[in-house]
Chain A
Amino acid sequence: MSDLGMTEADAVGHEDPYPERFLPHEGDQDDKAEKRKLGFAFWLCTAWLVAVIGLAIFAPYLAIKSPNVNFVQPGERPPYSPSGEHWFGTDQDARDMFSRTIYGARTSLTVGFSAIAFGLLVGGTLGLLAGYFRGKIDQIISFGFLSLLSFPALILAILITSLLERSLLTIAITIGILSVAPVGRVSRATTISFADREFVLAARSLGARHPRIIVRELLPNVLIPMGAFSLLGVAIAIVAEGSLAFLGLSVEKGPTWGKIILTASQSSRDLENAPYMAFFPIGVLFLTVLALNFAGDRLRSFFDVRELSL
């Protein structure tokens, strides 16, 4: 037990009715050593993500069935159950669910990653500027973030997507706009924690100007924790696409995870007779979201300088 976690009860030797199990877990020496390793589960998550992303990117070049061909078997009504031919079964139109899931991943992951890329570009930059300059600039930018956060995210998304043509770009930017405020606030907080450090002061006293300090000194330090945070953001963005799909507002062309889950679960009879149609894509989606969450969480504590220096 470290000194930090010591309670009054330990000091007076009183028999504590709540022994050390009430102490915060973080302060332990063992945990500190543990924190420097990413752990097996992290690599498992990474492997899953690499597999899904790899399949999604290379889908057109791999021996995967087309997602839009109807594999009708004479004498039988689709949907067909999973088999060696169709690993995830087929949907009501006899289209291969495995390939639809992978092609859905293409759209869903593109939406997820480009939305957060947009958020990082806009929110990250604004947060960096706010955290570095403080004062008036900080006030204005922070107020902007607050206004964005102060109305329900899905309503904003509904507003934009209902008015514009629902292309992949529109959906990605819509979700990207939603991520600007949360990403920006983290970026601002991280920048503030670095802005007064000695190396920034050193650069300034050597005569470096603001742009140089921001790009050369602050950006590399802010980028790493932001990268870990944005993995969580990608997970949220993927789920957001799914939610929009359930409101009929996702990308219009081609399968997405949200859309295939919606078609599979729309009628109770289909859900009863062919639950695999919904549950395979849900499983893949859930594992991906979980892997992104876990990997992001792990990376964040791995790179958390403040926690380590305690």
Chain B
Amino acid sequence: MKFWVSRLVGAFALILTVSAITFGAMNILGDPLFNILGPTAGDVSNPESVAKIEAAEAQFNLDKPLPVRWALWLGDFVTGDFGVQFSATGQPPVSDLIAERLPRSLMLLVMAQTMAVIISVPWAIWSAAKANSAVDRTSTVMTFFLVGMPTFALGIILKYGLSIRFDWFPATFVANDPFWTRAWQMFLPALTLALPSAAVYQRLLRTDLITTLQEDFILTARSKGVSKRNVLFKHALRPSLFSFITIAGVTTGTLIGGALVVEQIFRIPGLGSAIVEAILREDFPVVLAIVMIVTITFVVLNVLIDILYSIIDPRVRAS
């Protein structure tokens, strides 16, 4: 119980710290007033501009001290109100923008993670069953290449090979298409994300499977007459999944980063392109909201993995 309390408090503290640092950095290093009003912000001699500045300061709480602004922002954020965009109109609200973009990024991530698992588990079992054979060595070399391959390079190669040269997969994302068409359009982007993680999973699971296959209970199962296939799938797989789950959680963080890049390559208007556009316009409320969403997702995922881990392996709860 104490373990869970400290774990949750830690996660909460981390999210708060990230929000404070991000909020502070953006307000100190950036110039919010200038981003809202443009050149008018510096024009203090003109009474008309001064009125505009004062109105904007009141509207965006810029006249209050930084910690108070942070507290106000945090209060709004918790209730799902991410504030207004830094522009003369402030429309549409950041929450609307996020609500439009987030599902696409989420879908990409879920598809990528699913594909990575679907690819890596059979691949690892196959490799482990034929450990140190030619097949296994070839796949080890393949994983080495895939892990070393930058996401953007793989994305361009897949886009060129499978979509431009051979017109097998769509390369563009159309936001208004029906759900399944959009899922199909996301196949290549998801594959780009999935392949390197699949390689990482395969390496790990293969090693763990080989270790498990040397255990006594595997020998017992085999001597009872359980077939090779059943030993692999029913006896060896489950105890080998511990580090697989951990690494799947850890790579989700990398995957989020990769997703931003992949969205750029395949032109998916998700959070990645939203943050890039926002940075170009120095639209900090949008950047802040996205940074917070990503951080919270990341932290929550890590806690979830700890919980999952303790369900699979009761020893974790004791320590």
Contact = CB atoms under 8 A, between A and B. Distances in A.
Contacts of B280: 248
B153 A271 contact: no
Interface stretch (B23-31, B72-80, B175-183): B23-31
A152 B301 CA distance: 12
B216 A8 contact: yes
A272 interface: yes
Interface string A101-114: 00000000000000
B251 to A, nearest CB: 11
Most A Cβ at <10 Å: residue of B30, B211, B219, B302: B219
Nearest to A281: B153
A165 to B, nearest CB: 10
A152 B254 CA distance: 7
A282 B153 contact: yes
Interface stretch (B95-103, B259-267, B309-317): B259-267
B150 A242 contact: yes
B210 interface: yes
Contact of A152 (B133, B156, B294): B294
Nearest to A264: B156
Contact of B150 (A22, A150, A271, A285): A285
Contacts of B144: 293-294
Interface in B118-150: 130-133, 144-145, 148-150
B7 interface: no
Given A17-B222, A246-B261, A278 B14 contact: no
Contacts of A73: none
B253 A153 contact: yes
A163 B295 contact: no
A155 B30 CA distance: 17
Most A Cβ at <10 Å: residue of B25, B152, B171, B222: B152
A234 to B, nearest CB: 13
Given A163-B26, A271-B159, A247 B260 contact: yes
Interface in A106-145: none
B156 A282 contact: yes
A243 B151 contact: yes
Contacts of A159: 22, 25, 287, 291
Most A Cβ at <10 Å: residue of B17, B25, B145, B150: B150
B256 interface: yes
B305 interface: no
Contacts of B132: 21, 25
17 contacts: A7-B214, A14-B219, A17-B222, A21-B132, A22-B214, A150-B302, A151-B298, A152-B253, A152-B298, A153-B257, A155-B291, A163-B30, A247-B272, A248-B276, A249-B279, A271-B156, A275-B160
Interface in A271-288: 271-272, 275, 278-279, 282, 285-286
Given A158-B279, A159-B287, A248-B279, 13 more contacts: A22-B210, A22-B213, A22-B214, A150-B298, A151-B299, A155-B291, A243-B257, A247-B261, A261-B153, A261-B156, A272-B164, A289-B149, A294-B144
A25 B280 CA distance: 52
B85 to A, nearest CB: 15
Nearest first, the 9 A-B pairs at minimum CB distance are A154-B257, A162-B279, A239-B150, A163-B29, A152-B253, A21-B132, A265-B156, A246-B261, A282-B153
A154 B260 contact: yes
B289 interface: no
B275 interface: yes
Given A150-B299, A151-B295, A243 B150 contact: yes
Interface string B19-42: 000100110011000000000000
A27 to B, nearest CB: 12
Most B Cβ at <10 Å: residue of A24, A152, A248: A152
Interface in A240-256: 242-243, 246-249
Contacts, number: 140
Interface residues of B, number: 59
A290 B148 contact: yes
A18 interface: yes
A243 B152 contact: yes
A163 B32 CA distance: 12
Contacts of B17: 147
A268 interface: yes
A118 B25 CA distance: 22
Interface in B240-299: 253-254, 256-258, 260-261, 264-265, 272, 275-276, 279-280, 282, 287, 291, 294-295, 298-299
Nearest to A24: B210
Contacts of B172: 268
A164 interface: yes
A4 to B, nearest CB: 12
Interface string A8-31: 110000101110011111000000
B304 interface: no
A275 B287 CA distance: 34
Interface string B216-248: 100100110000100000000000000000000
B18 interface: yes
Contacts of B145: 290
Contacts of B219: 8-9, 14, 16
Interface string A205-246: 000000000000000000000000000000100010011001
A178 B279 CA distance: 20
A193 B22 CA distance: 37
A23 B210 CA distance: 8
Contacts of B291: 155, 158-159
Contacts of A158: 260, 275, 279, 287, 291
